[in-house]
Amino acid sequence: MKTVYKQLEGKMEKTIEALKYEFTTIRTGRANAQMLDKVRVDYYGTPTPINQVGAISVPEPRTLMISPWDKSAMTEIEKAIRNSDLGLNPTNDGQVIRISVPALTEERRKELVKRAHKVSEEFKVRLRNERRDANDTLKKMEKDGEITADELKKGQDEVQKITDKFIKNIETLLATKEKDIMEI
C-alpha cells in the first residue's frame, strides 16, 4: 500500500508543478519572461514558441525585451504578441523588440483572477482523478486478496488525507497568485 501512496504523491506533486508553471503564464502587473510561453510565432510556416526564435530578457520590472536570432522574424514576433490575449503592444527598433507591460486595469485584474480560479479548479479535478485511480488500485488489491477490507478502508482514508493536503496546496498557490494579480 505504501507504493500506492508514494505513486499518488509523486503524481500529485507533478500536478502542482504543472499548476505553478500555468500560473506563471497568467499575467500580473510585472514583466516576466514566462508570460510569453504560450505565444506562438509563425516561423517559416511552423508555430514556434517565442523563446525558440529569440532571447527574452527583463531589463526593467515593467519591460520585456526580445532579441530575435533571425531579424527577418521580427514582424512575425510582433504580430504574434499583438494577437495574443496578453494585451501587450510591442515596439521594434530594428535590433530588438521591446514590450512595455502596462499596469493592469481593475477590470483586467478581475478577468485574470477568474482565469486563475478556473485553472486551479482544472488542477483540482486532476488531483481528484488521481485520487480515484489510487482508490481503484486499492480496491483491486483487496479484490485480489493482497489487502483486507480494513486495510482498504485505512488506505482510502490515507489517500483522502494526501488529496486534501494537495488541494490545500492549490488553494494556497491560488491565493498567492490572486494577491499578485490584484497588487497595483
- CATH number of the domain where residue 62 is located: 3.30.1360.40
Q: Name the domain boundary from 100, 120, 136.
A: 100
CATH number of the domain to which 134 belongs: 1.10.132.20
Residue 162: Cβ within 10 Å count = 19
Tell me, yes or no, whether 109 and 93 share the same domain. Answer: no
Tell me, yes or no, whether 128 and 169 share the same domain. Answer: yes
Number of structural domains (the chain) is: 2
Tell me, yes or no, whether 63 and 152 share the same domain. Answer: no
Q: Name the domain boundary from 100, 117, 151.
A: 100
Tell me, yes or no, whether 13 and 51 share the same domain. Answer: no
Distance (Å, rounded) from C-alpha 181 to C-alpha 184? 8
**Per-residue tens of pLDDT for the chain, all 184 residues:** 889 999 999 999 999 999 998 888 887 777 888 888 889 999 998 999 999 999 999 998 889 999 999 989 999 999 999 998 787 889 999 899 999 888 888 888 899 999 999 999 999 999 999 999 999 999 999 999 999 999 999 999 999 999 999 999 999 999 999 998 887 6
Tell me, yes or no, whether 74 and 94 share the same domain. Answer: yes
pLDDT score for 2: 86
Q: What angle do CA 30, 35, 38 make, to 5 degrees?
A: 170
pLDDT score for 25: 81
- DSSP string across 33-75: GGGGTT-EEEETTEEEEGGGTEEEEEEETTEEEEEESSGGGHH
Tell me, yes or no, whether 76 and 136 share the same domain. Answer: no
What are the cell numbers at 122?
482544472
Q: Name the domain boundary from 100, 134, 149.
A: 100
Tell me, yes or no, whether 84 and 141 share the same domain. Answer: no
Tell me, yes or no, whether 96 and 116 share the same domain. Answer: no
- pTM of the entire structure? 0.77
Tell me, yes or no, whether 111 and 161 share the same domain. Answer: yes
Domain of 124 in residue numbering reads as 1-27+105-182
Contacts of 63 (CB under 8 A, 6+ apart): 31, 98, 99, 100, 101
